[in-house]
């Protein structure tokens, strides 16, 4: 029973060691990609920087979406307000009065 456990555990430990080495190489590559010295920038620091960046990026994206939505709502509200003013009875009366004045002026010029 112990022999079976030992064989299984050794295989799993070898697998974990290989994975750990691969993660270390990838972390070094990532550090180099961002212009850092892997010897001076440990894996924990690389992952912490990425976590902070991701949080800040998501926050900025959400804020930009909220700002765009607010601007869109503001423009829609202004458009509705302009449409209401254009369709108001007072506006129509003013337009009718201007038309009447133009008609009178045109009639005087034609005479």
Query: Model-level pTM greater than 0.85?
Result: no
pLDDT number for residue 89:
66
pLDDT averaged over every residue in the chain: 89
Instruction: Please provide the distance, in angstroms rounded to a whole number, between the alpha carbons at the two ends of the chain.
Output: 121
Q: How confident is the model at residue 92 (pLDDT cuts 50, 70, 90)?
A: low
Q: Where are the domains of the chain?
A: 2-86
pLDDT in tens, 9-39: 999 999 999 999 999 899 899 889 988 898 9
Which backbone phi and psi does 107 adopt, to 5 degrees?
Answer: -65, -40
User: ∠ CA(13), CA(14), CA(17), 5° rounding?
Assistant: 85
**pLDDT confidence of residue 15:** 97
Write out the two tokens for 89: 């009875």
Q: Which residue has the tokens 């009639």?
A: 107
Cβ within 8 Å of residue 38, ≥6 positions away: 27, 28, 31, 32
User: Can you tell me the mean pLDDT for 104-110?
Assistant: 85
Q: Residue holding tokens 């690389």?
A: 46
């Amino acid at each position: 029973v112990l022999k079976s456990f030992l064989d299984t555990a050794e295989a799993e430990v070898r697998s974990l060691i290989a994975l750990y080495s691969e993660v270390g190489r990838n972390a070094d590559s990532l550090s180099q990609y961002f212009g850092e010295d892997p010897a001076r920038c440990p894996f924990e620091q690389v992952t912490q920087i990425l976590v902070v960046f991701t949080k800040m990026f998501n926050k900025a994206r959400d804020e930009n979406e909220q700002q765009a939505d607010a601007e869109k709502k503001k423009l829609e509200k202004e458009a509705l307000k302009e449409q209401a003013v254009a369709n108001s009875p007072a506006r129509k009366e003013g337009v009718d009065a201007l038309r009447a004045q133009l008609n009178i002026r045109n009639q005087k010029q034609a005479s």
